[in-house]
Chains A and B, each alone.
Chain A
Amino acid sequence: MIHYILKRLTSLLITLIVATIVIFLIIEVVPGDPAAYMMGLSGSTEAADALRVELGLDKGALERYFSWIGGMLSGDFGISYTYRVPVSQLIGERTLVSVPLTVYALILSTLIAIPVGVISASRRGSVVDTILMGVAQIGVAIPNFWFAILMVLVFSTSLGWFSAVGFPGWEAGFWVSIKALTIPAFSLALPQAAILARVMRSSVLEVMQEDYIRTARAKGLSQRQALIRHGLRNAMIPVLTILGLQFSFLLAGGIIIESIFSLPGLGRLVFQSIAQRDLIVVKSIVTLLVMAVVMITFIVDLLYALVDPRLREGGRG
């Protein structure tokens, strides 16, 4: 197990280092002047020169790379050019919204998808299966922003259960914040849940064809008991992969939902920084997102090992 973790950690580190080099090369080294770009078409030469010094562009590429990495390691991501606050503070605030929102959405989608997938699979071909999978199909097909607006119309405008937009901040209280995130989380969760339910269904169907399910049935377990005791854990393996991918996607991909609900999340920050040509922020966020994706992959790998002893111990396989 330790060997397995070390191996994964090494590949994680290498991925991160390669990623920072690629990001650095794209933003700072490829031909073109970042300072002039950040100033925009109307900027003066003097201002661009000043910015160039501020960004340290007068120094060599290698030196800049290491001072950037060194800075990040000590928590210094630089100062945002447009907001004039430390990037770390900017990202910190946004992360406190985006990460809970993503986790919330994934919990919701898992809670919906797994039972739906299992029920559909265990009643394959029945009316229930047809209806559930039909709904899932619609869930994949409809745009989540449209669904979000629909939810707002129903739950905020008509019923008045939730506020339509905005985020009060965690200072306002845990439940208040959770409540404010509920409709956005549902909107994010719906298409993910639909995809996940389909994966779960086919995974369960596949597992139910396995010989060890037949062995379990021969022991005297009913079809349902065999599914629960022997099928689920095996069926979870492909579902974990999808969950990992969805987490990475939702973390910064929730931009449309964030915009609709005016949530101060990472997606919007990236978007705004790109629009304002704030390369300092863009560089940091992209790096952090890469780090998040790599970390999640690592966690998913650990979960695999938890589910599957063959990965833990190695062996004949």
Chain B
Amino acid sequence: MSLLDIQDLSLSIHGTTILDKVNLSVEKGQVVAIVGESGSGKSMTSSAVIRLLPEGTTISGAIWLKDQNISDKTEKEMCTVRAHDIGMVFQEPMTALNPVETIGSQVMEAIRISEPGLSRDEVRQRAELALHRVGLDNQRFPLNTYPHKLSGGQRQRVVIAIAISQKPALLIADEPTTALDVTTQAKIMTLLKKLVDQDKMGLLLISHDLAVVANIADHIVIMKDGQVVEQGARDGFFENMKHDYTKKLFAAAHHKLQKKFIADAAEPVLEVRGLNKDYIIGRNEKLRAVNDVSFTIKKGENLGLVGESGCGKSTLARCILGLEDFQKGEILIAGQKFNGERRLRRHINVVFQDPYGSFNPRHTVGRLVAEPYYALDNPPNSEERKQKVIEMLEHVGLSASDIDKYPHEFSGGQRQRIAIARALITEPDIILLDEATSALDVLIRDQILELLARLTSVFGISYLFVSHDLATVKNITDRVLVMKDGVIVEQGITAEVYQNPSHPYTKSLLEASPDITKSKVKNKEQLNDNIFQH
């Protein structure tokens, strides 16, 4: 029998069906990826295995782990199963660790729970070993380090150390890299794969992005609306996709877009010249977040700004929006020097990353979308305003009747459309998109990118597309800037940069960027290697 065998698992919360007869299994040493959009039930499947479920959940079917039906176990027995047999890694590394406890005590706790008989020193050594195995060297990251000293990727390593410390038979990773940069993502995925191989664990890997898991999965399960729509071995999976939904996901992972740009090389709408931004971090210490950055965006041109978190791209974005002071250099909007003046602000609008946090929940959509009118000296009267809001909502694929609704009545993707309508309404020269698609599912992300591409041809707007993900900006931008440690290390025509990256950092970013086509080739090579070895 398999290590994990889920049989006809159905699950409902307060009567609403979430999972409908899910069947899947994980073998020892095998990586099984569940892929689907939010609401597909992929996370609920893993939560059901470890049985950390919301109140009011009812389950039917069987979950066999190591030849025991764990769905029959009591809550107390499940504590033992969690302690010994299952390790779990979660999506959000920034909040998954207790902020008031050291990383050492959090790893040691897991070891002590599964093996209460160990001495203090043994527990310590085991914890150091676990942290060492996930790449956190004990010299640099001693046990008494607090989580807030660590970056997202490092924290995720601590969570993995907790999960593998008691050598579980099954490891569950629920969107383990969704909150991380592409380069960190690649490293974490490699780490997970390595640990699975070393400990011969089964890995149940959950993701919304086919491209991310395609690289390391042995078996792929596609879920939609609580059902498994298709599953099969990784090899040959993409050649024989049967279900339409799988094909759609596959297409989304390619990011293929149809777009027409107005290649009008006329006047620049935004110029940044020699911009420096320092943060004072100690008495005599300064951190140069943005270092001598210069670039120009012309009318109708789309520019990508790419880099890892902490590279200064968001600080630069904030300077351009007039939300942050800077020490040196200048910003010109529509040819005029910009120092936060209201009359220049109206030329630039913004769409932020978080579609949930960027709206006042107590305002109607009509009021939210009309908000940028405050920046105008002569805003239109309420009737014109309403007409304009409706027009904008229709441009972004919403309807006139949405005007009186509140943000909570919309999905993440729809909210991002509202944010775009809000950015469009004053018909600015330029829209700054700060990780505007990072929080979205792949399919939704694709739709938003398509919408943006369409709008640029309708309105002739320029975009400054800030992202950590090269794949996202690839098809929507004309030119791209690559930023590292506050400096622009490479810039050029997007297609050229992608084909011939000159800076090593750009190369590493491109390699880390998940790509189904790339991983397929890789796997075939590996396959060949295996043939030669045997």
- B75 closest partner in A (C-beta): A222
Interface with A: B79-87, B123-131, B348-356, B464-472, which one? B79-87
Given A212-B99, A233-B100, A234-B98, also A218-B82 (CB < 8 A): yes
- Roughly how many angstroms separate A217 CA and B90 CA in the complex, as a whole number? 12
- Roughly how many angstroms separate A220 CA and B75 CA in the complex, as a whole number? 10
Of A220, A233, A310, which one neighbours B83 at CB under 8 angstroms? Answer: A220
A sample of 15 cross-chain residue pairs with beta-carbon separation below 8 angstroms, ordered by A number, consists of A212-B96, A212-B98, A215-B98, A215-B162, A218-B52, A218-B86, A219-B113, A219-B162, A220-B83, A220-B84, A229-B109, A234-B100, A309-B102, A309-B148, A310-B146
Taking a contact as CB atoms under 8 Å apart, the answer to whether A211 and B100 are in contact is no
- Roughly how many angstroms separate A208 CA and B106 CA in the complex, as a whole number? 17
- Roughly how many angstroms separate A310 CA and B147 CA in the complex, as a whole number? 9
> For the complex, is B95 an interface residue (Cβ under 8 Å from A)?
yes
Taking a contact as CB atoms under 8 Å apart, the answer to whether A317 and B148 are in contact is yes
For residue B87, which residues in chain A have a CB less than 8 angstroms away from its CB? 218
For the A-B complex with A212-B95, A234-B100, A316-B151 known, give 18 more contacts whose Cβ atoms are closer than 8 Å.
A212-B96, A212-B98, A215-B88, A215-B96, A215-B97, A216-B109, A218-B82, A219-B109, A220-B79, A220-B82, A220-B110, A222-B75, A233-B100, A307-B100, A309-B102, A310-B148, A315-B149, A316-B149
Q: Which residues of A contact B (CB under 8 A)?
A: 210-212, 214-222, 229-230, 233-234, 307-310, 313, 315-317
Taking a contact as CB atoms under 8 Å apart, the answer to whether A211 and B79 are in contact is no
- Roughly how many angstroms separate A219 CA and B88 CA in the complex, as a whole number? 8
Given A211-B96, A219-B113, also A313-B90 (CB < 8 A): no
Taking a contact as CB atoms under 8 Å apart, the answer to whether A308 and B82 are in contact is no
- Roughly how many angstroms separate A220 CA and B151 CA in the complex, as a whole number? 26
Taking a contact as CB atoms under 8 Å apart, the answer to whether A220 and B99 are in contact is no
Taking a contact as CB atoms under 8 Å apart, the answer to whether A313 and B149 are in contact is yes
- Roughly how many angstroms separate A269 CA and B96 CA in the complex, as a whole number? 52
Q: How far is the CB of A118 from chain B (nearest CB, A)?
A: 17
- Roughly how many angstroms separate A221 CA and B146 CA in the complex, as a whole number? 21
Taking a contact as CB atoms under 8 Å apart, the answer to whether B100 and A218 are in contact is no
> For the complex, is B26 an interface residue (Cβ under 8 Å from A)?
no
A-B contact count (CB 8 A): 82
Taking a contact as CB atoms under 8 Å apart, the answer to whether A218 and B114 are in contact is no
Taking a contact as CB atoms under 8 Å apart, the answer to whether A222 and B79 are in contact is yes
Taking a contact as CB atoms under 8 Å apart, the answer to whether A215 and B148 are in contact is no
Taking a contact as CB atoms under 8 Å apart, the answer to whether A230 and B101 are in contact is yes
- B159 closest partner in A (C-beta): A215
Interface residue tally for chain B (C-beta within 8 Å):
36
> For the complex, is B50 an interface residue (Cβ under 8 Å from A)?
yes
- Roughly how many angstroms separate A233 CA and B82 CA in the complex, as a whole number? 24
Taking a contact as CB atoms under 8 Å apart, the answer to whether A221 and B99 are in contact is no
Taking a contact as CB atoms under 8 Å apart, the answer to whether B96 and A316 are in contact is no
> For the complex, is B120 an interface residue (Cβ under 8 Å from A)?
no
For residue A234, which residues in chain B have a CB less than 8 angstroms away from its CB? 98-100
Q: How far is the CB of B82 from chain A (nearest CB, A)?
A: 4
Given A215-B90, A218-B50, also A210-B100 (CB < 8 A): no
Taking a contact as CB atoms under 8 Å apart, the answer to whether A217 and B52 are in contact is yes
Taking a contact as CB atoms under 8 Å apart, the answer to whether A219 and B98 are in contact is no
- Roughly how many angstroms separate A148 CA and B90 CA in the complex, as a whole number? 52
Given A212-B97, A212-B99, A309-B100, also A220-B148 (CB < 8 A): no
Taking a contact as CB atoms under 8 Å apart, the answer to whether B90 and A211 are in contact is yes
Of A210, A214, A308, which one neighbours B52 at CB under 8 angstroms? Answer: A214
- B86 closest partner in A (C-beta): A218
Taking a contact as CB atoms under 8 Å apart, the answer to whether B113 and A220 are in contact is yes
Taking a contact as CB atoms under 8 Å apart, the answer to whether B99 and A308 are in contact is yes
Taking a contact as CB atoms under 8 Å apart, the answer to whether B79 and A221 are in contact is yes
For residue B109, which residues in chain A have a CB less than 8 angstroms away from its CB? 216, 219, 221, 229
> For the complex, is B534 an interface residue (Cβ under 8 Å from A)?
no
- Roughly how many angstroms separate A310 CA and B102 CA in the complex, as a whole number? 11
Q: How far is the CB of A166 from chain B (nearest CB, A)?
A: 46
Taking a contact as CB atoms under 8 Å apart, the answer to whether A308 and B114 are in contact is no
For residue A315, which residues in chain B have a CB less than 8 angstroms away from its CB? 146, 148-149
Taking a contact as CB atoms under 8 Å apart, the answer to whether B101 and A313 are in contact is no
> For the complex, is B343 an interface residue (Cβ under 8 Å from A)?
no
> For the complex, is B92 an interface residue (Cβ under 8 Å from A)?
yes
For residue B52, which residues in chain A have a CB less than 8 angstroms away from its CB? 214, 217-218
- A312 closest partner in B (C-beta): B146
CB-CB contacts below 8 Å: B327-367 with A = none
Q: How far is the CB of B53 from chain A (nearest CB, A)?
A: 11
For residue A215, which residues in chain B have a CB less than 8 angstroms away from its CB? 88, 90, 96-98, 106, 159, 162
For residue A220, which residues in chain B have a CB less than 8 angstroms away from its CB? 79-84, 110, 113-114
> For the complex, is B375 an interface residue (Cβ under 8 Å from A)?
no
For residue A214, which residues in chain B have a CB less than 8 angstroms away from its CB? 52, 90, 96
- B154 closest partner in A (C-beta): A316
- Roughly how many angstroms separate A196 CA and B110 CA in the complex, as a whole number? 33
- Roughly how many angstroms separate A169 CA and B202 CA in the complex, as a whole number? 72
- Roughly how many angstroms separate A317 CA and B149 CA in the complex, as a whole number? 7
For residue B81, which residues in chain A have a CB less than 8 angstroms away from its CB? 220
- A307 closest partner in B (C-beta): B100
- B87 closest partner in A (C-beta): A218
For residue B140, which residues in chain A have a CB less than 8 angstroms away from its CB? none
Q: How far is the CB of A214 from chain B (nearest CB, A)?
A: 6
- B97 closest partner in A (C-beta): A212
Interface string of B69-85 (1 = CB under 8 A from A): 00000011001111110
- Roughly how many angstroms separate A315 CA and B148 CA in the complex, as a whole number? 6
Q: How far is the CB of A314 from chain B (nearest CB, A)?
A: 9
Q: How far is the CB of A88 from chain B (nearest CB, A)?
A: 41
> For the complex, is B150 an interface residue (Cβ under 8 Å from A)?
yes
For residue B102, which residues in chain A have a CB less than 8 angstroms away from its CB? 309
Q: How far is the CB of A240 from chain B (nearest CB, A)?
A: 13
- Roughly how many angstroms separate A315 CA and B52 CA in the complex, as a whole number? 32
